[in-house]
Amino acid sequence: MEQHFLVRGNSIKVELEQGVIHISNDKELWGLLNEQTEASTDDFVDLLKKEYQRLFHVPLDISDASLAVEIWGHVYFEYFALIFEKMLNMNLIKKVTHKITDYCEMIDCGESEKDSNRFFWNMLAPFKKQIAAMLPGHINEKNFKRED
């Protein structure tokens, strides 16, 4: 079921299904992460998990930290790819970047049984604070994000 979560003035498009949350990686999500990235993400994750619990009557079996670093992993991987595309401005780089942006368009966050990458995000989760400290701010203001 597709829903929109209003978080800090940004309308984030999300689809919830049993064991999986699909998050649209669009300008609204980038706007949420633009400032106070960690706190904004924490607010979003809290809303996601509460709504999941309300809909399915069971908690989502993904830790808050794992969910946060997965969101960042997709958003910032795309962000850095777009920076390289702008800096290098080569056709080969553009082709690779388009594949990356297509891959990152939807962030699929699933419980371990439904997401083969969950172990990776769980492995990074204990380092959430350190990862957050390294993330650049004001990503939405640079206008790198393309909307197709």
Half-sphere exposure of 4 (CA within 13 A, CB side): 7
Count of domains in the chain?
1
Query: What is the amino acid identity at position 64?
Result: D
Residue 11 domain-assigned (yes or no): yes
Q: What is the pLDDT along the chain (148 residues), one digit of tens a residue?
A: 789 999 999 999 999 999 999 999 999 999 999 989 999 999 999 999 999 999 999 999 999 999 999 999 999 988 888 887 777 777 767 777 777 777 778 999 999 999 999 999 999 999 999 999 999 988 887 777 766 5
The answer to the question of residue 128 being in a domain is yes
Residue 7 in any domain: the answer is yes
The domain of 117 spans: 2-137
Closest by Cα among 77, 34, 71 to 49: 71
The set of residues, in sequence order, having a beta carbon less than 8 Å from that of 103 and lying 6+ positions away, is none
143 occurs within a structural domain? no
Q: Is 107 domain-assigned? A: yes
Note whether residue 79 is domain-resident.
yes
